Amino acid sequence: MAGLCLAAAALLVATVLSKYKKSPEQVGSQAVCLALGLWAAVCLISLSLFWGLALFSLSCLLMYTYLSEQEWLPVDQKAVLVTGSDCGLGHAICKHLDKMGFTVFAGVLNEQGSGAEELRRSCSSRLSVLQMDVTKPEQVKEAHSKVVEKVQDKGLWAVINNAGIFGFPADGELIPMNEYKQCMAVNFFGAVEVTKTFLPLLRRSKGRLVNISSMGEITGTSDMWEMHEKKILEHLPREVLADYGEDYILTLKHFLAHLLDTASPDFSPLILDVQHALCAKHPAAFYSPGKRAFLWLCMASIFPTGLNDYLWKTNATKARHMPRALSLPNRNKAM
C-alpha cells in the first residue's frame, strides 16, 4: 500500500513538472518545484498515509491549475495594435512587445512628435507608427486600412486600448461640462470606436482585446494642474465658489502631488500583466497590477458605501481638506 501511494505521488509530481517545463518563465525558478517536493515529504511524514496523500494530491491539482494558466502561446510575429503610444505606458508597451518579436502598430496622437520619433529610432522594422486620434473616426479608419494592408489574411492578434487623458481630481460640481465630454470622448467612446473598427480582424485571428484603465497613473504636469485650476475658478458661479471656497479649490492639486510622490515610475508590473494577457494560453479576465491596487478595488466593491464615505470624510477632515460650506459647524449639523 505504501509503495502504491508513493507511486501515485511520483506520478502527480511528474505531471506537474511536465507542465512546469512548458512555462518556466512565468513561474520563476525551480524553487517552485523544490517547494512542491518538500511539501510532499511533509504531508507524507507528518500525517497518516491516506490524509497525507490526499492533501498532497490537492496541492498538485492546484499547482497544475496554476501552471496551466501560465502556459504561453508562441509569439510568431503576431500583430498587435496599441493606442496612446506617444508616451507613458503605451510607449513602454510598444517597446516591450517589439523586443518580444510582435509586429507592433503604435497608434499616436502626433506621428511627427518626439514620442513617435523615439519609437521609430529605438524599435525594429516590425513596428509601424500610425497617426490615430481615437476621437476622430476618419483617422481610426485610415489606421485600419494600413493595418489590413500589412497583416492581410493573418488578422490582428490583439488590440490594446490604452489611450486616455488626464482628469483633474475635483468635486463633480466643480468640473466644467466640456471636461466631462472630452474625458468620455477619449476614455470611453474612443475605445469603443477602435474596438468596433478592428473587431473583424480580431475575430479572424481569434485574438485578444485588452482594455486599460487607470486608478492614478495619469497625473499630468504642474502646468496642466494650473490650467485646470484656472478653468475651474473662471467658470464657477459665485454661489458655488462661496460654498466651496477658493482655498479648498487651490488645495485639490495637492492630491496629484501626493500621487507623484508615492507612485512608482516602474511600469514593469503593468507591462508583465499586458504580456500575460497577450501570451498566456488561459489569460485572466481582470488584472490589478501595482501595490495596494487590488486592496482599493476590494474596499470600493465590498465595503458599504456609507463606510467608504465615512473613511474618505474622516481622512479629509484630518487633513483640513473640506469645502467651506461643509467645514462650518452649523452647516455640518444641518447635513
How long is the chain? 335
- Rounded CA-CA distance 19/311 in Å is 45
Radius of gyration (Cα) for the chain, nearest Å?
Answer: 26
Bridge partners of 159, per DSSP, are 81, 209
Distance (Å, rounded) from C-alpha 326 to C-alpha 316?
11
Instruction: Kindly state the cell numbers that stand for 197.
Output: 473598427
Contact 275, 96 (CB under 8 A): yes
Among candidate residues 244, 248, 287, 310, the one labeled active-site is 244
Q: How far apart are the first and last CA of the chain?
A: 73
Q: And the C-alpha cell for 248?
A: 479648498
Closest CA to 219 of 188, 255, 187, 186: 255
Q: Are 168 and 225 in contact (CB under 8 A)?
A: yes
Q: Is 180 a catalytic residue?
A: no
The 3-class SS string of 3-28 reads: HHHHHHHHHHHHHHHHHHHCCHHHHC
CA distance 65 to 17: 12
Q: What is the grid cell recorded at 46?
A: 507528518
- CB contact at 8 A, 201 and 148: yes
Residues noted as catalytic: 244
